[in-house]
Amino acid sequence: MRRLTSSVLLLICISLLSGCGLILGGGSRQTVGVQTSPPGTKLTTAPPTGDYTTPTSLNLERKNSYVLTFSKEGYSPATFQLESHVRGGIVIADVLLTGLIGVIIDAATGSWSKLSPETATVSLTKTAMIDGPDTIKVGITVQRANDGTKLNIQSNAPGVVIQVAPTDRH
Does the predicted TM-score (pTM) go above 0.75?
A: no
Candidates 70, 82, 79, 80; CA nearest to 38 is: 70
- Return the pLDDT at 150: 72
Of 64-68, 118-122, 164-168, the one with minimum mean pLDDT is 164-168
Domain presence at residue 157: no
Average pLDDT score, the chain: 77
Report which listed range, 24-33, 70-79, 121-130, 142-151, is most confident. Answer: 70-79
Contact 41, 123 (CB under 8 A): no
The string of DSSP codes covering 23-49 is HTS--SEEEEEEEEESSS-EEEEES--
Residues in Cβ contact with 13 at an 8 Å cutoff, skipping those fewer than 6 apart: none
Domain presence at residue 160: no
Domain presence at residue 162: no
Contact 54, 43 (CB under 8 A): yes
Domain presence at residue 53: yes
- Return the pLDDT at 30: 92
Candidates 40, 43, 46; CA nearest to 70 is: 43
Domain presence at residue 129: no
The length of the chain is: 170
Look up the domain containing 31 and give its range. Answer: 2-123
Contact 115, 81 (CB under 8 A): no
Q: What are phi and psi of 87, to 5 degrees?
A: -90, 110
- Return the pLDDT at 18: 43
Chain segment 116-165, per-residue pLDDT in tens: 999 999 999 888 666 666 667 777 777 777 777 776 777 777 777 666 66
Domain presence at residue 81: yes
Number of domains in the chain: 1
